[in-house]
C-alpha cells in the first residue's frame, strides 16, 4: 500500500513542478535578479537594434556573451519564440528529472531495505 501512496505523492510533486515551470513561469518578474542588479549598478541600460547597450561604469560591462546563447532553449524560450517560456520550462523539468533521477537511481544503495520509520 505504501508503494502506491509513494507513487501518488511523487506524481503529485511532478505535477506541481510542471505547473510551476509551464504556467507560473509566465508570471515571473522580468527585472534583473539581485546579483544582476549589483552588476548593473552604475550603468544605464538602453535597448538598441544591436541589443542592450550599457553606458557608464559597471561590473556587467565585463560580462562576455554566453557561448551557447544561440542554443535552441536559450533564455527559457523554444527557438527564441515569444510565449514559449512555459514549453521551455516543461522541457527543462523533464530533462532535469531524467538527469537527476537517473544519477540518483544509479548511485542508490541496492538490496537494502529503505531506511525509514518502519513504514516502508
- Of residues 30 through 89, those in contact with other proteins by CB under 8 A are 30-35, 37-39, 41-42, 57-64, 66-69, 71, 73-76, 85, 88-89
What is the closest distance, in whole angstroms, from the C-beta atom of residue 53 to other proteins in the complex? 15
Write out the three cell numbers for 89.
520550462
Give the residue with the Cβ less far from other proteins, 29 or 48. 29
CB 74 within 8 A of CB 66: yes
Give Cα separations from 26 to 2, 74, 83, 91, 98 (angstroms): 36, 16, 8, 15, 24
Sign of CA dihedral 29, 30, 32, 33: positive
DSSP type of residue 56: E
What is the closest distance, in whole angstroms, from the C-beta atom of residue 45 to other proteins in the complex? 10
CB 116 within 8 A of CB 5: no
Give the residue with the Cβ less far from other proteins, 29 or 46. 29
> Does residue 20 bind other proteins (CB under 8 A)?
yes
Give the residue with the Cβ less far from other proteins, 82 or 108. 108
Q: How many of the chain's residues bind other proteins (CB under 8 A)?
A: 73
Amino acid at each position: 500500500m505504501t508503494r502506491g501512496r509513494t507513487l501518488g505523492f511523487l506524481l503529485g510533486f511532478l505535477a506541481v513542478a510542471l505547473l510551476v515551470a509551464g504556467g507560473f513561469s509566465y508570471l515571473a518578474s522580468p527585472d534583473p535578479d539581485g546579483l544582476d542588479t549589483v552588476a548593473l549598478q552604475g550603468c544605464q541600460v538602453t535597448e538598441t537594434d544591436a541589443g542592450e547597450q550599457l553606458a557608464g561604469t559597471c561590473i556587467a560591462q565585463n560580462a562576455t556573451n554566453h557561448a551557447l546563447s544561440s542554443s535552441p532553449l536559450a533564455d527559457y524560450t523554444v527557438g527564441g519564440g515569444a510565449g514559449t517560456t512555459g514549453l521551455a520550462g516543461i522541457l527543462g523539468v523533464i530533462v532535469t528529472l531524467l538527469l537527476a533521477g537517473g544519477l540518483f537511481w544509479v548511485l542508490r544503495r541496492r538490496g537494502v531495505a529503505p531506511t525509514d520509520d518502519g513504514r516502508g
